[in-house]
Structure 1
Amino acid sequence: MTGILIAVGVVAGIGLLIGLILSVASIIMAVPKDEKAEAILEALPGANCGACGYSGCSGYAAALAKGEAEVGLCAPGGLACTKAVSEILGVNTGAVEPKVAVVKCMGSLDHTSYKAEYSGIMSCSAALKIGGGLTACTHGCMGLGDCEAVCPYDAIHVKNGVAYVDDGKCRACTLCVKACPRGIIEIVPKKDMAMVRCSNHDKGAVTRKLCDVGCIGCKKCEKTCEQGAVKVENFCAYVTPALCTDCGACVEACPQNCITYFKAK
């Protein structure tokens, strides 16, 4: 009996000693917290989307606290977040340009078609690996909803074979941009302007056969824009938001109706 008690005592003593050593070590080796970074992290939305260019909210908060990052890079947080961070850092808020995601494709099933029947995994990324995707246009939206699945704000949905963004809900977190295997979702300034809703780079004759609303690179939009905001490169037009005055000239000139008015909500 005495031997058992001694053994129990030894084990208990060893456990107590180890606990004491770990407690002391945790104090000595503790990494001091950056209170400013912690406060900034609390002010950020916690989306961890990477839209700011850093590895999530904690990475951005640490960079801000060290003075290594600009205030106002958090698109999901918007102006309210920028103001809160500015107060913590003691700097001016400055101008924050709201942004929104836009799907540069209008190729719904009313305007284009599938080149084959697809019965695989309901994912654009998966479908792309089988013969380059299921749509006739190899540049357009496949409509299987990878973007919709990752959106935390319920801002993007697939309707009739093509994705649409609700700019009233979108926070420009860039998750849909990263999820789209064809790269047809773009983050643009949230302002009234013209928008080319096509990403096709085939020659005009080919595009006409594939989609009723595809850009054919005719350059009529480019020629009519007095501000030089519209350029056609590789058979597809693009509008530079900073130069666009929303005059509507390019919208009226487009024979394919693939340039639309974008009205920010």
Structure 2
Amino acid sequence: MDFEIFKNAIPSMGLLGALFAGGLAYSSVKFKVEEDPRKGEIEKVLPGANCGACGYPGCASFAEAVVKEETVCDGCPVGGPDIAEQVATIMGVDAGASSKERQIAQLLCQGGKAETFNQADYQGIPKCRAANRVANSKSCEYGCLGFGDCVSVCAFGAMYMDDNGLPVIDTDKCTGCGKCVSECPRSIIALMSNTEHIVVRCKSVLKGKEVKQACEKGCIGCTLCAKKCPVDAIEMVNNLPVVDAETCVGCGACVQACPTDAILETPYETIKIEKPKEEVLVITEDCVGCTLCAQKCPVDAIAGDPGNKHELDTKACINCGQCVKVCPKDAIEYQ
């Protein structure tokens, strides 16, 4: 082997290496992409779970999206309000002003140990999927089996089983990842928008008599909720009410009408709170006739000419409070 060839090539290779290195160094300076330092700061305060619940592949991608103003500061459901506040501080904005709609898991069943009964003593594997494959041991064939498979797959500690044998969902901790939804063999957990007013907590499509025999809190398909809804936001499908979230105004008329408490109003309280019967809405003299209340009223209980004080028909009014929310002069109040 002729080593002279290698000796002669060394200077040439060195020169080429220096040339390429210089070219790379120049390119790195010339074409350098400046990274917003806020991105790194946001990454530091994020939980680092890289769960994807925010809609981005990981925390780094979410931080970049926040800096580019492609998403909101409270877009990390795992971090919650505390992290949202820190991110907002870094961005120099108000965390409260960036709130957005998000999906949260909701239980669509109230048939626990107190409301249902066991038809047989199940001796199999204590898992919902296993129990669902054998003959139904619970009085309601559509209800929660109570073994907590959903709780076991929740990675954020947002669920636990209560003493009544039903899963309880912490909506503040829930990230809307949907794992509990996929795990439930009876599809009694669903993702719902946090802006929805009403939830129907029953999945049984049986007729009223059969439902009554199986569960104390089951929907009996009486249709009272649909009949009482002032905006026709409820349709009966397979003996169950289906609520149109976009049409629903959250007046609570369906909740009050339900004889079995199968429909609940957010934040999903199980106790009905009735307003005093003497409390009615009144339009005061501060009304400037902007017509916003009349446009918003779902039952056309408000009338009046533009620029003049409007009148409210207390007999037609359902006390939903929608007019109160839109009045720019606070001229509508309960008396």
Q: TM-score range by the shorter chain?
A: 0.5 to 0.7
What CA RMSD, in Å, does the superposition of the two structures yield over aligned residues? 3.7
Aligned to 1:101: 105
Give, in angstroms, the shift of residue 130 of structure 1. Answer: 2.1
Q: Aligned-pair distance for 1:102?
A: 1.9
What does residue 79 of structure 2 align with? 77
Letter in 2 for 1:45: P
Gaps of 5+ in 1: 1-34
Q: Check the 8 A contact 1:148/1:158 in 2, yes or no.
A: no
CA deviation after TM superposition for structure 1 residue 99, in Å: 4.9
Q: CA offsets per residue over residues 53-78 of structure 1, 9 Å max, x none?
A: 566x369649949x8x8556543334
* TM-score, normalization by structure 2: 0.55
C-alpha separation in 1, matches of 2:43 and 2:183: 25
SS at match of 2:236: strand
State the AA in 1 paired with 2:221: G
Task: Please state if 1:144 is matched with 2:159.
Answer: no
Q: TM-score, normalised by structure 1?
A: 0.67
Deviant stretches of 4+, over 6 Å: 35-40, 83-93
Task: Tell me the distance in 1 between the aligned counterparts of 2:143 and 2:161.
Answer: 16
One-letter code aligned to 2:202: C
Of 110, 130, 135 in structure 1, the residue corresponding to residue 134 of structure 2 is 130
TM-superposed CA distance for 1:225, in Å, is 1.0
Deviations 1:194-234 (A, max 9, x none): 32111112233332222121112222101111133333222
Partner of residue 248, structure 2? 244
Q: Larger relative contact order (C-alpha < 8 A, sep ≥ 6)?
A: 1
Contact in 2 for aligned 1:215/1:258 (Cα 8 Å): yes
Gaps of 5+ in 2: 1-34, 270-335
Q: Distance in 2 between matches of 1:200 and 1:41?
A: 45
- Where does residue 162 of structure 2 map in the other structure? 158
SS across alignment from 1:177: helix
Aligned residues: 229
Q: Which secondary structure state, in structure 2, belongs to the residue aligned with residue 159 of structure 1?
A: coil
Return closer, same or farther for 1:49/1:117 CA change in 2, 3 Å cut-off.
farther
Superposition deviation, residue 257 in structure 1: 1.8
Q: 1:206 to 1:125 in 2, by over 3 A?
A: same
Greater C-alpha Rg: 2
Say which SS state the counterpart of residue 251 (structure 1) adopts.
helix
Partner AA of 2:144 in structure 1: C
